[in-house]
Amino acid sequence: MVPAVLLLIGSVIPSAWGWAGDAIADPPGLKVASPGPGGCGARYSASTGAELKGGQANLETGIPVVAEKFEDVSMPITMQALTDQAIVVTGMTLNALSSKAVPRHGSIVDGEGCGGGIDERLYGVTLPTVPSSVQPQIVGKRENGVTFPYKVTSDDPEVLTVRLNPVDRDVRFTVTVDWVSEGEIGSTTLDNKPDGSDSRNGSGYRVMGAGNLPVYELSDLYG
């Protein structure tokens, strides 16, 4: 099996909290949010090519596909203190909830891509082949990494981008951020819980490999 590697890329963003996603606020004051894995790359649909051409599938709800021949899939995670009190972020853990074979039916639609680049501060973590948890480790030159622990305030939030490299499995996972505030130890887990849901936990984020599924260019389907 080809392992999946997550690269955590950190950069400082403006202090305004101007976007929505999977957001959780835990006392004593750290807000963590993410829209989940995405980007402009390929996505899986359970629909056939004919159904896709007929406009019967919503590609925005497709599952991100992580494979060498497609554009990277990334997951931005923003952390911000809710008060002037600094929060010390002590670590981050990837929790693989499930890992199963890639579906044998359906289609992959390759998007147009969006490219771009950021100031990379890299961490790497290998996605487990069985449900378990792993912690990211710094990769490359140390000065290019966000070394845990570090402080986050209301005026100086931090965004980490989790980049998922090739995988040949269908995986669900969550991300847990560990932190300390005023001597109190806490953690916040991003699990893709829908807004307004009464359930205690979300089902996790889902990504998958390409398997042997047919691939269609977006321009061929809707050009």
Cα–Cα distance list, 27 to 48, 82, 130, 156, 186 (Å): 46, 9, 32, 18, 8
How are beta strands 215-217 and 73-81 bridged, if at all? unpaired
Q: What pLDDT, on the 0 to 100 scale, is given for residue 39?
A: 77
Confidence of residue 138 (pLDDT cuts 50, 70, 90): low
Give whole-number Cα distances, 208 to 10, 113, 155, 166, 191, in Å. 24, 18, 36, 9, 17
**Mean pLDDT, residues 192-209:** 80
What pLDDT was estimated at residue 26? 47
Burial of 51 from C-beta contacts in 10 A (0-12 / 13-18 / 19+): middle
The span from the CA of 42 to the CA of 210, in Å, is 9
pLDDT, greater one: 123 or 150: 150
* Angle, vertex CA 95, rays to CA 89 and CA 97, nearest 5: 155
As a whole number of angstroms, the distance between CA 28 and CA 48 comes to: 49
Average pLDDT, the chain: 77
Q: What is the pLDDT of residue 27?
A: 45
34 pLDDT exceeds 80? yes
> Residue 26 has which token pair?
């835990």
- Range in 23-37, 118-132, 174-188 the model is least confident about: 118-132
Give the tens place of pLDDT for each residue, 173-193: 999 999 998 888 989 999 998
